[in-house]
Amino acid sequence: MPSINTRRWPRFHVYLPILIQAKPGAESVAVPGLVCELSRTGMELYGGVNLRPGDLMEVEFQTPDKIRVAGVVRSRTGFCFGLEFCAVRTEPEAAAEALESFIRKRHESYVHEKQQKINQSLQVVKEMRKCRQEIELLAQALDNWMHADTAKRAAQKRQNTKTASAPD
């Protein structure tokens, strides 16, 4: 039985590189991570930081505007974290627009790349079909030649049998 989604906001599957700062405001090292799901109120991300539910985390999206969001870790499984947003470090409207633009560009790039691969595959399929037609024509020509050669040999054999059985 499929599970029922009880979340307030839809989640979107994305793959966005980020930098994670484990202790916002403190001098700490930024750790690379990856956002896998994103919603209006939070996200699922992977990163090599040692945080527990209830800890604060700051995430910087690798966009031209370097959008930063702070959040509270709500769940953790291994290095997979569920983060609930607390604050955005730029103007909210500008941050939302910049992030949407960034995601849209990444998506368009992905779609373009996949379309190119599809077009290449279609070209290969056309070439394979052309080769198949040529092989079928060659097979038909060979079959016709073999049939004609067999008929010619049978005729020669009949001729030789008639000549051999004819009285001298």
Structure tokens at 73: 């870790």
Confidence of residue 168 (pLDDT cuts 50, 70, 90): low
Higher-confidence position of 12 and 167: 12
Distances (CA, A) of 52 to 56, 59, 80, 82: 9, 16, 11, 10
Residue 61 has a CB neighbour count (10 Å cut-off) of 21
Structural element, H or E, at residue 87: strand 80-88
111 and 71, same domain (yes or no): no
Are 93 and 76 within 8 A, CB to CB? Answer: no
CATH assignment of the domain containing 43:
2.40.10.220
Structure tokens at 20: 């994670």
pTM value is 0.53
Alpha-carbon distance 137 to 79, whole Å? 60
pLDDT over threshold 60, residue 152: yes
Choose the most confident range, by mean pLDDT, from 2-6, 94-98, 102-106.
Answer: 102-106
Return the C-alpha torsion angle 12, 15, 21, 22, nearest 10: 70
What average pLDDT does the chain have? 82
Higher-confidence position of 87 and 46: 46
Per-residue pLDDT of 60-89, as tens digits, reads: 888 777 788 889 999 999 999 999 988 655
- Give me the DSSP letters along 106-159: HHHHHHHHHHHHHHHHHHHHHHHHHHHHHHHHHHHHHHHHHHHHHHHHHHHHHH
Percent of the chain topping pLDDT 90: 30
- In this predicted structure, what is the pLDDT of residue 150? 84
Q: Find where tokens 């202790």 sit.
A: 23
Structure tokens at 1: 């039985």
111 and 64, same domain (yes or no): no
Q: Would you say residue 143 lies in a domain?
A: yes
pLDDT over threshold 70, residue 121: yes
Q: Would you say residue 83 lies in a domain?
A: yes
Residue type for position 98: A
Q: Would you say residue 124 lies in a domain?
A: yes
Q: Would you say residue 20 lies in a domain?
A: yes
Q: How many domains does the chain have?
A: 2
pLDDT over threshold 70, residue 130: yes
- In this predicted structure, what is the pLDDT of residue 100? 73
**Containing domain of residue 78, as a range?**
12-90
Are 106 and 62 within 8 A, CB to CB? Answer: no
